[in-house]
């Protein structure tokens, strides 16, 4: 178990029965978050003609090829500059700096620590693509520094830190876009409209099976990271100090204390997508189990390569996210309704399987796309307008709670519940 895992209290069996009865009865579960700042309250919106000065926190493949390249294609329309980069590994830091210099004609400032980047004068916004265990640390610090923020998912690895970081964002009132970019995809927006039309009837189950022949963290091994080029303490953050381990640095995705496996990583995207399509509220309960089943070797990875999590929602449906990283068969993403089935894999729906199909769906129907700005453009636009971005901090909090319910269940072997009043995760005795 992760030494820094969220504390979980116990609830009695009668509380479990009450929650189950409420679910089956369709009762709404109350939620609580600090109120979002309105557009009028966001005093730090960037002026229409001002150049937005951006710092990059985390210059790995996600930071460079997704974040930096993703926003650069909009530079002509949105007038920004990457003025600083930050990463514990010298090689990644220098690679990101070289990209920014090529694009903007001048050398960005380079920092090892996020603290120094946030202390730099004139930075308006930051993009956070650090390892998962550092997301809340960097998010909270950036919010307290008054920056606009683009932050990767999963939003958190511990519940108490999630609450603290989200509260800091609410106090700051700055624009935060969470990196669950699928809700900005035209086909996903179209699926939401299909769901809202009621053509699929009542949804009973939503499932994702995302399988591979090998865990994704193996692709990051063998990059030749040397201890003298890395600020090891900066990477560890609040995790216990230990001798430098190149495997842990290169393939941190494979270690539970840094990244809590594919349900937290890949499942965060699916959870957020399902929440968006379904206009979901917080899950009632979750059960998750998994283990290192196939890939046992000298790297001693601790993130599960075979894992499954199931949530129950107060709207009366079940959501399942599972992964087998030792066999690639069986991958699919489906929404099962009483009148038909929505297929995310090919963006279509049909009457197949519907127990109440009534002829309103004929054959296989392609989901019509609904155009909207891509995720990076939306964030850049919202920094000027003060509007709420497409993956707001509230949406990020929702997917993060669901992820952490699975994390705590996996760690304890118990069913978990989210307490909206106290913003804590509890387990059933």
User: Could you read off the pLDDT of 157-173 as tens digits, one per residue?
Assistant: 999 999 999 999 999 99
Full domain range(s) for residue 173: 33-181+375-388
For the ranges 6-15, 89-98, 384-393, which has the lowest average pLDDT? 6-15
Mean pLDDT of the 48-67 span: 93
What are the C-alpha distances in Å from 339 to residues 275, 313, 350, 352, 355? 20, 20, 9, 8, 6
Structural domains in the chain (count) = 1
Cβ neighbors of 166 (< 8 A, separation 6 or more) are 33, 34, 393, 396, 397
Mean pLDDT of the 119-142 span: 97
Among candidates 316, 126, 61, which has minimal Cα distance to 204?
Answer: 316
Do the domain assignments include residue 57? yes
Do the domain assignments include residue 189? no
C-alpha–C-alpha distance, residues 19 and 417, integer Å: 9
pLDDT digits (tens, 9 = 90+) for 290-308: 999 999 999 999 999 999 9
Mean pLDDT of the 234-246 span: 98
Q: Cβ distance 366 to 342 under 8 Å?
A: no
C-alpha–C-alpha distance, residues 305 and 282, integer Å: 27
3-class state of residue 373 by DSSP: coil
β-pair type (341-343, 348-350): antiparallel
Q: Cβ distance 54 to 126 under 8 Å?
A: yes
Report the C-alpha dihedral over residues 418, 421, 426, 429, rounded to 10 degrees: -110
Q: What's the gap between Cα 136 and its chain centre?
A: 12
pLDDT digits (tens, 9 = 90+) for 332-346: 999 999 999 999 999
| The predicted structure's pLDDT at residue 48 | 65
- Core vs surface per residue 376-415: b (16+ CB within 10 A) or e: bbbbbbbbbebebbbbbbbbbbbbbbbbbbbbbbbbbebb
Do the domain assignments include residue 119? yes
Do the domain assignments include residue 104? yes
**Beta-strand runs (E) in 158-314:** 176-178, 203-209, 285-291, 306-313
Q: Residue 117 pairs with which residues in a beta bridge? A: none
Among candidates 394, 397, 393, 401, which has minimal Cα distance to 148?
Answer: 393
pLDDT digits (tens, 9 = 90+) for 3-41: 334 334 444 444 444 444 444 444 333 344 445 444 334
- pTM of the entire predicted model: 0.90
Q: Cβ distance 361 to 351 under 8 Å?
A: yes
**pLDDT at residue 190 above 90?**
yes
Sequential DSSP letters for 108-145: PEEESSHHHHHHSTT--EEEE---GGGHHHHHHHHHHT
C-alpha–C-alpha distance, residues 395 and 378, integer Å: 15
Confidence of residue 46 (pLDDT cuts 50, 70, 90): confident
Angle at 11 between CA 9 and CA 15, to 5 degrees: 150
**pLDDT at residue 277 above 80?**
yes
Do the domain assignments include residue 23? no
C-alpha–C-alpha distance, residues 195 and 275, integer Å: 12
Confidence of residue 428 (pLDDT cuts 50, 70, 90): confident
Do the domain assignments include residue 352? no
C-alpha–C-alpha distance, residues 87 and 81, integer Å: 18
Ramachandran class of 257: left when φ > 0, alpha when ψ lies in -120 to 50, beta otherwise: alpha
Please give the residue that has the higher pLDDT: either 142 or 44.
142
pLDDT digits (tens, 9 = 90+) for 195-237: 999 999 999 999 999 999 999 999 999 999 999 999 999 999 9
CATH number of the structural domain spanning residue 65 = 3.40.50.720
Peptide bond into 217 cis (omega under 30): no
Half-sphere exposure of 52 (CA within 13 A, CB side): 32
Mean pLDDT over the full length of the chain: 91
| The predicted structure's pLDDT at residue 36 | 47
Confidence of residue 373 (pLDDT cuts 50, 70, 90): very high
| The predicted structure's pLDDT at residue 44 | 60
For the ranges 40-44, 169-173, 321-325, which has the lowest average pLDDT? 40-44
Among candidates 79, 75, 83, 82, which has minimal Cα distance to 51?
Answer: 79
Do the domain assignments include residue 161? yes
Do the domain assignments include residue 323? no
């Amino acid at each position: 178990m992760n030494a820094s895992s969220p504390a979980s209290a116990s609830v009695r069996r009668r509380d479990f029965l009450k929650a189950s009865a409420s679910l089956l009865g369709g009762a709404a579960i109350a939620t609580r978050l600090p109120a979002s700042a309105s557009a009028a309250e966001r005093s730090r919106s960037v002026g229409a003609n001002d150049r937005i000065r951006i710092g990059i926190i985390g210059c790995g493949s996600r930071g460079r090829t997704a974040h930096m390249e993703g926003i650069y294609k909009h530079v002509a329309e949105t007038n920004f500059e990457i003025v600083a980069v930050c990463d514990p590994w010298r090689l990644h830091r220098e690679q990101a700096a070289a990209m920014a210099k090529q694009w903007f004609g001048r050398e960005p400032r380079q920092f090892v620590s996020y603290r120094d980047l946030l202390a730099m004068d004139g930075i308006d916004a930051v993009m956070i693509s650090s390892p998962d265990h550092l997301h809340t640390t960097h998010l909270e610090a950036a919010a307290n520094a008054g920056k606009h923020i683009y932050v990767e998912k999963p939003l958190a690895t511990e519940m108490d830190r999630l609450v603290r970081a989200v509260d800091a964002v609410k106090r700051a009132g700055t624009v935060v876009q969470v990196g669950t970019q699928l809700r900005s995809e035209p086909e996903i927006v179209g699926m939401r409209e299909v769901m809202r039309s009621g053509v699929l009837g009542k949804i009973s189950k939503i499932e994702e099976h995302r399988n591979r022949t090998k865990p994704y963290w193996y692709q990051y091994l063998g990059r030749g990271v040397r201890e003298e080029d890395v600020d090891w303490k900066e990477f560890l953050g609040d995790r216990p100090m230990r001798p430098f381990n190149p495997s842990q640095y290169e393939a941190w995705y494979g270690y539970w204390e840094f990244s809590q496996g594919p349900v937290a990583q890949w499942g965060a995207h699916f959870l957020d997508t399902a929440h968006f399509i379904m206009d979901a509220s917080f899950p009632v309960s979750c059960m998750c189990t998994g283990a290192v089943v196939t890939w046992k070797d000298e790297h001693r990875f601790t993130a599960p390569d075979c894992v499954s999590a199931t949530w129950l929602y107060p709207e009366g449906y079940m959501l399942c996210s599972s992964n087998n990283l030792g066999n690639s068969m069986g991958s699919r993403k489906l929404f099962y309704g009483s009148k038909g089935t929505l297929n995310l894999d090919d963006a279509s729906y049909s009457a197949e399987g519907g127990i109440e199909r009534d002829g309103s769906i004929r054959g296989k129907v392609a989901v019509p796309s609904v155009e909207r700005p891509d995720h990076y453009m939306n964030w850049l636009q919202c920094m000027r307008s003060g509007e709420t971005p497409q993956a707001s901090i509230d949406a990020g909090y929702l997917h993060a709670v669901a992820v952490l319910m699975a994390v705590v269940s996996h760690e304890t072997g118990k069913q978990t519940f989210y307490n909206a009043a106290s913003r804590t995760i509890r387990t059933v005795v």
